Structure 1
């Protein structure tokens, strides 16, 4: 293990030491909480100000450094983020909790973003030394190893992650996608095919539909998903999202639009479905309809989907030839997501329109 790996491991081991009450940590963190709220609302200058106030007022160093790391990570300043996450871990003086491990996952992700895969792997190694059955750590170490061109190590980690969660079909789909993107699609498909051939009696119609969809068996996927859509107690949104996409794959955009709109008329609180509806409408050449769909999704203020919805709305305006509005929204987008290099290039393109 390198010096860096030993340092991360030592920090994690320190987290396991129980200290007596009154260790001296200051757990006031009002400004840190405000900073995190500002980050969530894309108010980065305000977040920086809150963090500076937190430092002046002596708020908890572990939380302060972690929040600074999150801010820098959001801004794409991964080297600075890494420094702050390491400071946060070094400041830990109690029993490890979920937040401490979450910080390590942030740290490893920053290393991956910079292409520093061996260092990311060392972080996951350290996590797994303490949490020997952490499915997410095995999966993410597999991703880092795959990017580091260690196929066998990655496949071993993926296998361990799957063995720790026998019925986690979402995990298997993520592994399929990772292997496919790395050029090992046949291996990924074999994992999915095993899901169907294993004969799990508890496998739901939605799960069968998911697996069939990613295997490219669109007709089977549509059949299973239609059954799932009509089940009384199933979660309808993910079913509808995938069902519409089976129609899109087969070029039946009218069917897909009908599926999305029928669902949204009954339950409009789903930005992911507004986003997919808008994308479908773009493919149909209905740019005004797409803009409307993206705006309805954005109005729900769900941070998990806000970025995709805003970027896709810009695309819809571009296709419609409304470059003035596209430019205005791109300025808003770039302010909220300054680390998106693709958007930076798109902004340059728009400046010439």
Structure 2
């Protein structure tokens, strides 16, 4: 693992789409499904429901009851990540790795990926890079490790080294559009947007069988919003939430907020509820100073319950209430929000502002 000098080859591979699923499968399969792991199992179920505070209580009980220590500390770290407490998440993941056995397992790969994520969130880019490098030493064809190491290196202003890793990741999965656009977003954030566009353009030029929706996404990142609009309009009948999101954002870039809001609303009217689209609809309405409608959109997203967008929806709803002049309600809401997300710096600043109202 990377986390300690003593066992420097013990690192974990996290399955990108299901590190959490991996754990639940292991538990169901008997690796952790023991009577004494009742609190652990309950905690993991609460994390899946995005109830991080409730999960923390269960993991603390699991540790006090001496349930599976590796899994309990790991679950605790994930809950801390959900609460935005990255320093404590780091500590928990390190304890999980220290509690693991001597044999390298998929679970340990997974935990080290989470640990690297905690480092990244704290801007400890060198430590994150070290983990990804150790993973690559053991898994030389792990495109995710190359991609994430590139991100860590890029944040340390070593552009040429980062590009080399991005290119290795692209070569390992040459048809992965999302990998290329994600890399572009990282390069743009680091001030290398124009260089990043060359990879997006190359993907567009080299892949001749792209669907209109895929072309539209690429044109969007190339900031060719007219062509993005044409391609995405042609494909929107597929009722794909991602394409609806990008099409709405395209119209926002073109300055047509009314049509952007209509794109989001049309999807929501004709498909299953989607928290991300409710959030985008609300933000779009905020830009139009339609604060009542925006607050209603955020509320609908919140009413869906557990989602990766719940925190953002709750914060945006508070801002909408503030713009409506409902300061008393906003004050109450920000206090409740901070109970769940106590380390949110932006919310703390908002709370200080509301105290003056």
TM over 0.5: yes
The answer as to whether partners of 2:52 and 2:80 remain within 8 angstroms in 1 is no
Report whether the alignment pairs 1:65 with 2:64. no
C-alpha distance after superposition, 1:152-183 (max 9, x if no partner): 21111111111111111111111111111111
The answer as to whether partners of 1:212 and 1:221 remain within 8 angstroms in 2 is yes
Deviates more, 1:181-190 or 1:83-92: 83-92
Deviates more, 1:41-50 or 1:249-258: 41-50
Q: Give the Cα separation in 2 of the matches to 1:160 and 1:207.
A: 22
1:8 deviation in Å?
A: 5.7
Question: RMSD value over aligned CA atoms?
Answer: 2.3
1:17 corresponding residue in structure 2: none
1:311 corresponding residue in structure 2: 315
Q: Give the Cα separation in 2 of the matches to 1:117 and 1:315.
A: 32
1:97 deviation in Å?
A: 4.7
Q: Give the Cα separation in 2 of the matches to 1:27 and 1:263.
A: 41
Q: Choose from 216, 222, 225 the match for 1:215.
A: 222
1:143 corresponding residue in structure 2: 151
Q: 1:7/1:113 Cα in 2 relative to 1: closer, same or farther (>3 Å)?
A: farther
Deviates more, 1:174-183 or 1:70-79: 70-79
2:128 corresponding residue in structure 1: 120
Q: 1:8/1:237 Cα in 2 relative to 1: closer, same or farther (>3 Å)?
A: farther
Deviates more, 1:109-118 or 1:139-148: 109-118
1:341 deviation in Å?
A: 0.8
Report whether the alignment pairs 1:109 with 2:108. no
Q: Secondary structure at the match of 2:325?
A: coil
1:258 deviation in Å?
A: 1.9
Deviates more, 1:275-284 or 1:71-80: 71-80
Q: Secondary structure at the match of 1:262?
A: helix
Q: 1:144/1:206 Cα in 2 relative to 1: closer, same or farther (>3 Å)?
A: same
Q: Give the Cα separation in 1 of the matches to 2:247 and 2:57.
A: 46
Q: 1:193/1:7 Cα in 2 relative to 1: closer, same or farther (>3 Å)?
A: farther
Q: 1:206/1:118 Cα in 2 relative to 1: closer, same or farther (>3 Å)?
A: same
C-alpha distance after superposition, 1:227-274 (max 9, x if no partner): 1113xxx45211111112211111212212222222211114111111
Report whether the alignment pairs 1:205 with 2:209. no
1:85 corresponding residue in structure 2: 93
Aligned residues: 337
Q: Choose from 180, 198, 203 the match for 1:195.
A: 203
Q: Give the Cα separation in 2 of the matches to 1:164 and 1:182.
A: 24
The answer as to whether partners of 1:43 and 1:336 remain within 8 angstroms in 2 is no
Report the TM-score, using the length of structure 2 for normalisation. Answer: 0.87
Report whether the alignment pairs 1:100 with 2:108. yes
Give unmatched runs, 5+ long, in structure 2: 13-30
Q: 1:8/1:83 Cα in 2 relative to 1: closer, same or farther (>3 Å)?
A: farther
2:11 corresponding residue in structure 1: 12
1:16 corresponding residue in structure 2: none
Deviates more, 1:43-52 or 1:133-142: 43-52
C-alpha distance after superposition, 1:33-76 (max 9, x if no partner): 22234445565554343223212332111101111222333444
Q: Give the Cα separation in 2 of the matches to 1:223 and 1:72.
A: 43
1:336 deviation in Å?
A: 1.7
Q: Give the Cα separation in 2 of the matches to 1:324 and 1:8.
A: 54
Report whether the alignment pairs 1:252 with 2:256. yes
1:80 deviation in Å?
A: 3.2
1:334 corresponding residue in structure 2: 338
Q: Give the Cα separation in 2 of the matches to 1:92 and 1:349.
A: 46
Runs ≥4 residues deviating over 6 A: none
2:356 corresponding residue in structure 1: 352
2:28 corresponding residue in structure 1: none
